[in-house]
Amino acid sequence: MNDRSGPIRVPFPDVLDPLTGVRFFLALGVVLFHYQLQWTLPDEAVGLLDRARLGVDVFFILSGFILTHVYLQGDGVPDYRRFLAARFARIYPAHLFILLGMLGLVLLAPLFGVGLEPGRFNPADFAGTLLLVQAWFPRETMVLWNGPAWSLSAEWFAYLAFPAYAALALRLRARPWVIIALAAILFVALDAFYRAQFGRVLPRAEDSMGILRIVPEFLYGIGLYYLGQRWTPSPRVSVMGALATTAALLTLMQLGADDRIIVAAAGPFVLSLALLAKARVRTCLSHPVALFAGEASFALYLVHIPILMVWRNAAQAFFGWPGDYRMGMAELAAMLVLTLAAAAAIHVFVERPGRRLLRAWMAPQRADPVEARRSIHSDQGEPF
């Protein structure tokens, strides 16, 4: 055994169903977090939902985990141009479709008597969102063209930086605890910087330099992947581990633990779900309905705020309700059904065909079987 290979690594199966299925519940948690800001439940009744916004951090950890699974199995890094082409094709069709929809809504709003706050939907922010750089710089206001897209900006930054991540990962893959320790040190340092500069903990970083939030969490996912390669639990142990890490994460969220502790607990949660696939355990997360919902979760995540905005503005314009009216449960349920249907349609009719067209145009398939295998599995389990 040499230092390069380290302890025996048992690869994960190609497809990690639990990491695909869980994406829907993570995205739904973010949706419900935004909904609970508008509904009539008392504050003490929504502890879990208030922390569901940290599903974004789980997404960032998942990205590091899955891209390591897809692209860093061998001794070398992937072709950078083809990697970026695949990642761009993965995220941009749905993003562009929804952003152009928002542009249309903003332009049409005055015709329907909907007043928009002057200057909030401005050309500079539109250009930043279009180019996916809106979360790269310090700013004092939110980018309203589509709020959730800030995390897409952070993901794009991580994709651009992937060669640096890959070089570090391949050098230290035999020492996954070192990668995880480096991620923890980086998180602590960036958290201290963010608190000093902006007065908030790092898991609160969004439009204002939200890229800092993904930097250590992506690395955390890489370390967890290589750690998981060392373990081959029995089906019983893998189920017990998944139940324990899920219960711990939900309990910390409900009790209102520090955001940074919840982010740390999200790592074992992600790893435990991947180990379910390694142990060949099938759960509800492997059901075809759950897998489709997980695949459509990206569209759900991106489209829910525009639909929420249109819904509330329409209610105010046509019924004369005040801007701060609270939504009832029946109204929220109807809006959720509409949002789920819209997300499914965008996934099927925009995201999938757009991805195929962009890949065919930007990076035609080679005969290389490794490249073909990456093409098949490069989107499974990854949130963005």
| Residue-level pLDDT at 318 | 78
Give the residue-averaged pLDDT of 241-259.
96
* Cut 0.85: pTM above it: yes
The separation between CA 121 and the C-alpha centre of its own chain, rounded to angstroms, equals 24
Residue bearing the bigger pLDDT, 107 or 364: 107
Strand, coil or helix: 39? strand
C-alpha to C-alpha distance for 290 and 4, rounded to whole angstroms: 38
248 touches 39 (CB < 8 A): no
Give the residue-averaged pLDDT of 103-114.
82
| Residue-level pLDDT at 317 | 77
Q: What are phi and psi of 331, to 5 degrees?
A: -65, -40
Q: Work out the pLDDT band at 115, boundaries 50, 70, 90.
A: low
Q: Indicate the average pLDDT of the chain.
A: 90
Residue bearing the bigger pLDDT, 120 or 232: 232
- Residues near 366 by Cβ (< 8 Å), separated by ≥ 6? 372
Give the residue-averaged pLDDT of 333-361.
96
C-alpha to C-alpha distance for 96 and 357, rounded to whole angstroms: 14
Give the residue-averaged pLDDT of 106-116.
77
C-alpha to C-alpha distance for 224 and 162, rounded to whole angstroms: 17
Q: Using one digit for the tens of pLDDT, what is the confidence trace for 303-328?
A: 999 999 888 888 887 788 887 888 88
Indicate the length of the chain as a whole number. Answer: 384
Q: Match 């499974």 to its residue by tokens.
A: 380
- CA dist 202 → 187, 193, 215 (Å): 8, 9, 11
Between vectors from CA 153 to CA 18 and to CA 213, what angle results, nearest 5°? 70
**pLDDT of 1 above 70:** no
Nearest to 158 by CA among 232, 218, 95, 98: 218
Domain parsing of the chain, residue ranges: 17-377
Burial (CB count <10 Å: 0-12, 13-18, 19+), residue 186: middle
Q: Using one digit for the tens of pLDDT, what is the confidence trace for 263-277?
A: 999 999 999 999 999
Full DSSP string of 141-160: S--TT-TTHHHHHHHHHHHH
Q: What are phi and psi of 39, to 5 degrees?
A: -105, -170
C-alpha to C-alpha distance for 384 and 379, rounded to whole angstroms: 8
| Residue-level pLDDT at 167 | 96
- Amino acid identity, position 306: P
Element holding 170 (H helix, E strand): helix 162-172
